[in-house]
A = this chain, B = another copy of it.
Amino acid sequence: MATPQSESSYELFYWPTIQGRGEFVRLALEDAAIAYSDVARLPKERGGGVEAIFRVLDGNGGGGRHFAPPVLRHRGGTEPRDFVVSHTACILDFLAVRSTRHGLLPEADPGARHTALQLQLTIADLAGEAHETHHPIAASLYYEDQKDEAHKRSATFLRERMPKFLGYFEAVLRENKASNKEYLVGAGFTYVDLSAFQAVTGLAQAFPNAFDRVRKDTPLLCALAERVAARPKVAAYLGSPRRLAPSTNDLFRHYPELDP
C-alpha cells in the first residue's frame, strides 16, 4: 500500500460488516463530506479485510498500539504530519478540531469542545450498556450462552437505564430550547447530534416496544434524530450501500424475546 500521499487523507479501521461503534465515526466523516477509506471493507489485495484492523491495532500502522477499533489514521496532515487515533469519542474530538472547517464543532465557543466530549462520552456509556444487554457475562461467548442473564440485564436496562439516558438528553435539549438553541451543545450543531441520531436509531431498532414507551417523553430528542437523518449528506449516506444493515452481530441488536 505504498501509495503517494500527496494530500491529506483519512482511513477508518473498523469491522467491515457492522455499524457498531465505527458508525459514530462514519456519520461524522459523511456529514462533514470528508473523503475517507473504510479500509477493512476493501478487498484483501488492496490492503483491506479484517487483517488491516489487526495490523493497525498492533502498531504496524505507524501510530502506536491501539486497544480496539475504531481507529482512524490521518495522513498528510500537520502537527504531527501523520496521526493515528482510536476510541470513538477521541476520534470525533480529533476530527472536529483538526477540521473545524467541516463544521463538526462550532468555532466560536471555546467551551463547546468539552461540552461535546462529555455528551459524547455519555452516549458511549449508553451504547456500552446497550451492548451489555445481549452480552452481560462475556463478549467472547455467544448470546445463546448467556440468554438468561441477557434477559435480566435487558429488563433493568429498559426499565431504568434507557429512560434515564434518553431523559437526560431530552432535558439538555429542553433547556437549550429555552434559549432558542436546537442542538445538544448549546453553541450549535456538533458531531454529538450525529451520534445521538445513531443511538436513538439503534435503540428504536433493537427495542421497538420499549422505545415506543419512552417516545412520548422524548419529543425533542426524536425530532433531533429526524432532523439529523434529513441533513443532505446524512440522508445520502443512509440511502447508500455504505450504510450497513442492522443485524444480530451488531452493537444494537433486535432479539424479540428481550423486548416484550
Contacts and interface: CB of A to CB of B under 8 A. Distances in A.
B114 A137 contact: no
Interface in A128-160: 128, 132, 136-138, 140-141, 146, 149, 152-153, 156, 160
B67 A168 contact: yes
* Of A117, A118, A156, A172, most B-chain CB atoms within 10 Å: A118
A125 B117 CA distance: 16
A53 interface: no
Contacts of A93: 114, 117
Interface string A93-133: 11000000000000000110011011001100100100010
Contacts of A146: 152
Given A149-B149, A153-B137, A160-B138, A85 B114 contact: yes
Nearest to A117: B90
A89 to B, nearest CB: 7
Nearest to A140: B160
A171 interface: yes
A83 interface: yes
A175 interface: yes
Contacts of A132: 132, 136
Nearest to A71: B118
Given A80-B111, A175-B59, A118 B168 contact: no
A171 B79 contact: no
A128 B115 CA distance: 22
Contact of A136 (B80, B117, B136): B136
Nearest to A78: B110
A157 to B, nearest CB: 8
A86 interface: yes
A233 interface: no
A65 interface: yes
A165 B111 contact: no
Interface of A: 59, 64-68, 79-80, 83, 85-87, 89-90, 93-94, 110-111, 114-115, 117-118, 121-122, 125, 128, 132, 136-138, 140-141, 146, 149, 152-153, 156, 160, 165, 168, 171-172, 175, 186
Given A79-B110, A89-B89, A138-B152, 20 more contacts: A64-B115, A65-B168, A79-B111, A83-B111, A85-B114, A85-B118, A86-B118, A87-B121, A87-B122, A90-B121, A132-B132, A132-B136, A136-B136, A136-B149, A137-B156, A138-B156, A138-B160, A140-B160, A141-B156, A146-B152
